[in-house]
Amino acid sequence: MKVPFVDLKRTHDPVREDLHRAAIEVIDSGRYIGGEAVSRFESEMSATLDGQEVCGVSCATMGLFSALKACGIGPGDEVITTVHTAIATAEAISLTGARVVFCDLEPGYFFLSPGEVEHRITARTRAIIPVHLYGQPADMDPILDLAARRGLIVIEDCAQAQGARYRGRPVGTLGDLAVFSFFPSKNLGGFGDGGAVTGRDRDLVKRVRVFSDHGRESKYLHLIEGINSRLDAIQAALLRVLLPRLEDWNAHRRAAAGWYAEGLAPLSQVVIPAVLPDTLPAYHLYVVLVPDRDALQKYLEENGIGTGVHYPRPLNLQPAYEHMGHKEGTFPRAEYACRHMLSLPMHSSITREEVDYVCQTIRRFFEEHRDARGEA
């Protein structure tokens, strides 16, 4: 049996014709930048976010950058985020001229530790970017409390968590601004790059919109210097076909997570993802911690199972951040996670048979490797 890590074709098959029709409609309309496809998508996505303002952008990286710029963040400022995230989160901060300040994970979870965030606040700190990594909501209440007490902005990185909920509320409605990604493999994956920024404060989201469209208020009136970071009309039209499916897809991912939990329960060596109480994860990825990760990954590959490692190196150990001088051991929890984590196949059309086969194969690996050393 072959179990792919993700299978976008299988996911798109049931709506293939609708996608073709939507693309052709945009092609025939002659309107490729902005227009109705984009504004309709924005208002449909807004309906999933308690009616918050939504601004489509070219990708989440530029969305984060635009969000930070809209908040007036730049040189001399510091922004705190997790060391265990896609590099995009940190890149967006550096692009503004502000300084990235990393912090380690909360013990037992893959999101940033609120205690560590507090510890790293200085007179220059302006914002915190919590990341709902793997689709698991970060613990927002302590972050929001801290931000309110210290007068800091909170920008949620929701790139991996569209549709997840924290204490009954959709992620993306908790901070001042939030950023989503439509990168093909994300929960609402498009057909190229795309993203969105959302927020309760209409004026703030308007600033994002202005900045991401050449600082433009109207066609030839530029209030400020901005950038070109818009959501394409064709992308928006295609996403409109997929958006109504997102809730079912996420429910399917949660069901698959339940099958994994069942199938892996007999294995004390495997630590399954911890779920914070009163949250509804979106399971962008299903990440377990295991001893002998590399050997297990190779074994699964030999048995036709696709896996991933997100991410093999925390940002503090990336050459891009060498100049910060963080040595190995600075963020022990993130570094530990990077050595032991394995992302198992997870997508919105994975079958029970596939999950059962993955679990069986993992059980067989640990039977054959009883001498496997090290706790995960």
Ligand X SMILES: *Cc1c(COP(=O)(O)O)cnc(C)c1O
Binding site for ligand X (CB under 6 A): 59-61, 85-86, 88-89, 131, 157, 159-160, 181, 183, 193, 195
Q: Considering beta carbons, is residue 93 or 204 the nearer one to ligand X?
A: 93
Whether the Cβ atoms of residue 110 and residue 102 lie closer than 8 Å to each other: no
Q: Considering beta carbons, is residue 66 or 269 the nearer one to ligand X?
A: 66
Closest contact distance (angstroms) between CB of 135 and ligand X is 10
Q: How many CA atoms lie within 13 A of 153 on its CB side?
A: 22
Q: Considering beta carbons, is residue 86 or 243 the nearer one to ligand X?
A: 86
Q: Considering beta carbons, is residue 48 or 85 the nearer one to ligand X?
A: 85
Closest contact distance (angstroms) between CB of 85 and ligand X is 5
Q: Considering beta carbons, is residue 61 or 136 the nearer one to ligand X?
A: 61
Site of tokens 């308007």? 206
- DSSP, collapsed to helix, strand or coil, labels residue 365 as helix
Closest contact distance (angstroms) between CB of 308 and ligand X is 12
Closest contact distance (angstroms) between CB of 132 and ligand X is 8
Closest contact distance (angstroms) between CB of 284 and ligand X is 7
Q: Which residues pair with 221 in a beta bridge?
A: 218
Q: Considering beta carbons, is residue 165 or 363 the nearer one to ligand X?
A: 165
Q: Considering beta carbons, is residue 116 or 193 the nearer one to ligand X?
A: 193
Q: How many CA atoms lie within 13 A of 210 on its CB side?
A: 19
Beta strands in 83-176 (DSSP E): 99-103, 125-129, 153-157, 165-166, 169-170
Closest contact distance (angstroms) between CB of 241 and ligand X is 19
Whether the Cβ atoms of residue 174 and residue 140 lie closer than 8 Å to each other: yes
Exposed / middle / buried, residue 105 (Cβ in 10 Å: 0-12, 13-18, 19+): buried
Closest CA to 194 of 11, 45, 16: 45
| Radius of gyration in angstroms for the set of CA atoms belonging to the chain, rounded to a whole number | 21
Phi, psi of 55, rounded to the nearest 5 degrees: -125, 115
Closest contact distance (angstroms) between CB of 347 and ligand X is 15
With a CB cutoff of 8 Å and minimum separation 6, the contacts of 50 are 169, 170, 173
Closest contact distance (angstroms) between CB of 322 and ligand X is 21
Q: Considering beta carbons, is residue 196 or 237 the nearer one to ligand X?
A: 196
Whether the Cβ atoms of residue 4 and residue 306 lie closer than 8 Å to each other: yes
